[in-house]
Amino acid sequence: MSLLSSEAPVVKASVKPPTQTLRARWTRILPGLALLLGVGYSGKLLQMGLKAYGKARHITMPNIEYVLWSILIGAIIGNLLGHRRWFRVFLPGIATYEFWLKLGIVLLGARFLLADVLRLGGVSLALVLIEIFAAIILMVIIGRLFGLGPKLTALLAVGSSVCGVSAIIATQGAIDADEKDASYAIAAILALGAVSLFTYPAIAHALGLSERAYGVWAGLSVDNTAEAAAAGALHSDGAGKIAVLTKTARNATIGLVTLGMALFFAARAGRQFRGSKAAFVWKSFPKFVLGFLLLSALASANVFDSQQLKSLGNLSRWAFLLTFAGVGLRTNLRELFHQGPRPFIVGAMAEVFVAVLTLGMVLAADRIFSL
């Protein structure tokens, strides 16, 4: 046997065990994940602190939701420190906000039940559908007139027509909108929603609206559920409950509206694609929207008990807490300010129109059908 073997030596590549690879990934994302949690929870603490301060001193404080605080804190940190070299250690974890966004949207489905829509009644439900279509169409028209980008216009449209911040975040993921567009849309919707707390009760008393009519109006036209409930409760407890019920019916359409927006933008991109349009649309379509619809259908079919629904809802809120922090940390304030006041003007014009339109519809329906 020859000392010199004709066979070449086999060099075995070192393969890291799966546990070691997983540990390395977690090590990379943990700093940024901790930052997301810290920023998001800081926003929640600020909201709770301002509320407690006002209550202790009998001062009416503006109900600024943690969403806006989280985005603001994140934007300040990201724009002041984001260019520093040591800040790069947080970037892999911050990038996971897209995962929390999609997870939050899927889990959000458990909070929107078909039974909530049916409880509202035929007349009020018809008013909800008219409001949604009218608000979206109007926002698109005004957005085009003011030269806003199509995705920013879409975010403002769903925010004002369906359920404010939740709809904006769901649609951002569905149409792949920029963080700055989401930040601008959220800020505009929350700011305009706060105005309703001061104006709606005064208008209701001036017009002599009944408890039910006012509750339906507040639920139809105020964007966020918290503001809708507060605006209704400022009139009476009964009006507050009706406002929440009407608003919940609007909220329940979030899946269909998000689905429509996703299909529209996927088809729009597909027009510039030379291959199979249907295949491109399906490839571009955000599949997690189907997860939202599936979970909503399962919840509506009473597959989950009340405790399970509560747990799924809480998980969704935690996922969104991380999402809002990530949106803020990735928002470029220079690009945001470059937009100028146009999104706020568009949002304000649409909000006024929706408020007047829904008020007219409620007055007419109350006179004809006795809401």
pLDDT for res 255 = 80
User: Which stretch of DSSP H or E encloses residue 198?
Assistant: helix 179-207
pLDDT for res 153 = 94
DSSP state of 163: I
What is Dmax (Cα atoms) for the chain?
109
Which amino acid makes up residue 297?
A
Give the whole-angstrom CA distance, residue 135 versus residue 133: 6
pLDDT for res 18 = 59
Tokens coding 348 = 């304000």
Neighbouring CB atoms inside 10 A of 296's CB total 22
Tokens coding 326 = 């990530």
Which ranges constitute the DSSP H helices of 235-369?
237-251, 254-270, 277-284, 288-300, 306-329, 333-338, 342-369
pLDDT for res 152 = 92
Give the whole-angstrom CA distance, residue 98 versus residue 324: 10
- Domain positions in the chain are 28-369
The residues near 211 (Cβ < 8 Å, ≥ 6 apart) are 235, 236, 238, 239, 242
Give the whole-angstrom CA distance, residue 98 versus residue 79: 19
pLDDT for res 280 = 59
Q: How confident is the prediction along the chain (371 residues), in pLDDT tens digits per residue? A: 433 344 444 444 445 555 667 777 888 999 999 999 999 999 999 989 988 888 888 876 666 678 778 888 998 999 999 889 999 999 999 989 888 888 888 888 887 777 766 776 788 888 999 999 999 999 999 999 999 999 999 999 999 998 888 888 888 888 888 888 888 888 888 777 777 877 898 898 899 899 999 999 999 999 887 778 888 888 888 888 888 888 888 887 888 888 889 888 888 876 655 556 566 566 666 677 788 888 988 988 889 998 999 999 899 889 988 988 988 898 777 777 777 788 888 888 888 888 999 999 999 998 888 76
* Alpha carbon distances (Å) from 130 to 23, 124, 126, 224: 52, 10, 6, 18
